[in-house]
């Protein structure tokens, strides 16, 4: 009798699955909290009499703050632990999402959204390192893909909540629900230990964390830090420019360049797009473990750069938009899985949290210009045409991936 190799998932321990679940659910709820603003964008814009550029600038505030939070929490995760930093980040974004509901002025709204961003950036920095250090190298891409897939689920959850609550109860009630992720931190505290590689290093080495952080700007890590930051900047500009305005594009009247679906129907159109995103995240992880990080990343970004201009010019073809949505979701999201895997493989344990936090969130900070830029163009050229700009940044990211080495199967260095 011939027995084959057992399925890959049987090689993963319960502790490793719990680490993945903690990061995945934290990322899912992070997406829910952040994307509530995208679905409420039109309503908030009308209540506060904002131009599209000003409404986009509020989203940019969140992104700038998330960059600061991501860098800060990356350093904190190196010092106090990945799971502990994850708990603090989730508490931060959930509490301040709920407090967004109390905003009575644009200034208050900007303050609360900025504080949400701190936790949003921190969740990825802590969660991605937790997963990368907990899982074996041959399955790291899959694990990060599964973690990133939580974003699509959170996006879908935000769409459902917006469809159910926004038309009847308004945007403030929608944001109050953002407090729910805070309760998840109780489970993380009880069930998710720190990765062995971090605890061993913590026990055997005394670290000057300021010096460790600065080492990513010195040889031999400097080139990797700069290259990774350029790639994340390009790709995140494309992502946030496209998907911050996607719900508004679908809901906006046709005479203003949108698809004319309204709030409820646009949420319905978003769901198949995010189902596509879910499978994009998962597929990327499996493909990257099989074929390598760089070629799969290149394929996804090239496909996204082709699909986005087509989608942006089909505002009056509802059925076609519905059919193309899963493809936009698949290729427009799936490549994100490279960051948690590849970045962790480029840097040693002592600075891994700081390096991932800095490179990913520097890109996020620079991409904060995207919602504002697209919003400003919307007022002049219409939303469908404005979204086409993001295609150029997908292409740029595809080219720049060759600045980094292939890291498939790399063991994490201590």
The string of pLDDT tens digits covering residues 277-306 is 999 999 999 999 999 999 999 999 999 999
Phi, psi of 121 (to 5 degrees): -65, -40
Other CB atoms within 10 Å distance of the CB of residue 84:
17
pLDDT for 88 equals 95
Percent of the chain with pLDDT over 90: 42
Residues listed for the chain: 414
How many whole angstroms separate alpha carbon 84 and alpha carbon 93?
A: 15
pLDDT for 193 equals 92
Q: How confident is the model at residue 405 (pLDDT cuts 50, 70, 90)?
A: very high
Of 373 and 254, the structure prediction assigns the larger pLDDT to 373
Average confidence score pLDDT of the chain: 87
How many whole angstroms separate alpha carbon 377 and alpha carbon 387?
A: 9
Quick check: 114 and 65 in contact, CB under 8 A? Answer: yes
Phi, psi of 207 (to 5 degrees): -115, 135
User: Environment class of residue 263 by beta-carbon count within 10 Å: exposed (0-12), middle (13-18) or buried (19+)?
Assistant: middle
Nearest CA to 52 out of 316, 404, 374, 381 is that of: 374
* Structure token digits, residue 393: 């940044």
pLDDT for 75 equals 86
User: Model's pTM, two decimal places?
Assistant: 0.81
* pLDDT digits 0-9 by tens, 78-133: 889 999 999 999 999 999 999 999 999 999 999 999 999 899 888 988 999 999 99
Could you give the C-alpha distances from 25 to 22, 180, 188, in angstroms and in order? 5, 12, 10
Whether 11 shows a pLDDT value over 50: the answer reads: yes
First CA to last CA distance, the chain: 42
How many whole angstroms separate alpha carbon 387 and alpha carbon 145?
A: 26
* pLDDT digits 0-9 by tens, 147-182: 999 988 898 898 889 889 998 999 999 999 989 889
Residues 6+ apart with CB under 8 A from 36: 97, 158, 161, 162, 174, 175, 177, 178
Could you give the C-alpha distances from 156 to 191, 293, 325, in angstroms and in order? 27, 27, 13
pLDDT for 258 equals 73
Whether 1 shows a pLDDT value over 50: the answer reads: no
DSSP label at residue 80: H
pLDDT for 205 equals 63
pLDDT for 241 equals 85
DSSP label at residue 12: S
Q: How confident is the model at residue 209 (pLDDT cuts 50, 70, 90)?
A: low
Could you give the C-alpha distances from 101 to 44, 49, 109, in angstroms and in order? 11, 17, 9
pLDDT for 237 equals 92
Whether 206 shows a pLDDT value over 60: the answer reads: no
Percent of the chain with pLDDT over 70: 95
* pLDDT digits 0-9 by tens, 312-343: 787 778 888 889 999 999 999 999 888 888 88
**CATH architecture of residue range(s) 14-202+209-403:** Up-down Bundle (1.20)
* pLDDT digits 0-9 by tens, 241-256: 888 788 778 887 777 6
């Amino acid at each position: 009798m011939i027995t084959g190799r057992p399925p890959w998932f049987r090689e993963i321990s319960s502790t490793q699955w719990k680490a993945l679940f903690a990061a995945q659910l934290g990322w899912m709820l992070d997406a829910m909290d952040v994307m509530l603003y995208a679905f409420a964008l039109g309503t908030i814009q009308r209540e506060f009499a904002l131009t599209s550029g000003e409404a986009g600038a509020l989203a940019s505030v969140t992104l700038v703050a998330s960059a600061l939070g991501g860098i800060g929490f990356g350093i904190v995760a190196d010092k106090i632990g990945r799971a502990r930093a994850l708990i603090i980040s989730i508490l931060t974004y959930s509490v301040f999402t709920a407090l967004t509901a109390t905003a009575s002025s644009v200034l208050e709204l900007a303050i609360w959204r900025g504080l949400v961003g701190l936790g949003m950036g921190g969740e990825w920095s802590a969660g991605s390192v937790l997963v990368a250090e907990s899982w074996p190298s041959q399955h790291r891409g899959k694990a990060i893909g599964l973690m990133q897939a939580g974003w699509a689920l959170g996006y879908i959850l935000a769409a459902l909540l917006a469809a159910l609550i926004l038309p009847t109860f308004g945007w403030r009630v929608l944001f109050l629900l953002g407090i729910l992720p805070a309760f998840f931190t109780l489970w993380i505290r009880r069930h998710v230990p720190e990765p062995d590689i971090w605890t061993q290093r913590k026990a055997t080495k005394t670290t000057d964390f300021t010096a460790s952080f600065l080492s990513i700007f010195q040889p031999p890590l400097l080139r990797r830090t700069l290259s990774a930051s350029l790639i994340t900047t390009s790709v995140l500009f494309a992502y946030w420019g496209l998907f911050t305005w996607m719900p508004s594009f679908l809901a906006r009247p046709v005479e203003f360049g949108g698809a004319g679906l309204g709030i409820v129907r646009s949420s319905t159109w978003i769901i198949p797009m995010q189902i596509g995103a879910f499978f994009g995240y998962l597929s990327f992880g499996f493909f990257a473990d099989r074929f390598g990080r760089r070629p799969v990343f290149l394929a996804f970004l090239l496909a996204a750069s082709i699909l986005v201009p087509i989608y942006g010019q089909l505002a009056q073809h509802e059925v076609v938009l519905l059919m193309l949505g899963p493809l936009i979701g698949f290729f427009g999201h799936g490549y994100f899985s490279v960051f948690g895997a590849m970045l962790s493989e480029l840097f040693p344990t002592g600075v891994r949290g700081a390096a991932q936090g800095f490179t990913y969130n520097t890109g996020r900070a620079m991409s904060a210009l995207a919602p504002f830029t697209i919003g400003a163009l919307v007022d002049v050229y219409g939303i469908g045409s404005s979204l086409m700009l993001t295609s150029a940044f997908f292409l740029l990211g595809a080219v720049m991936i060759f600045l980094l080495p292939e890291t498939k199967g790399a063991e994490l260095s201590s």
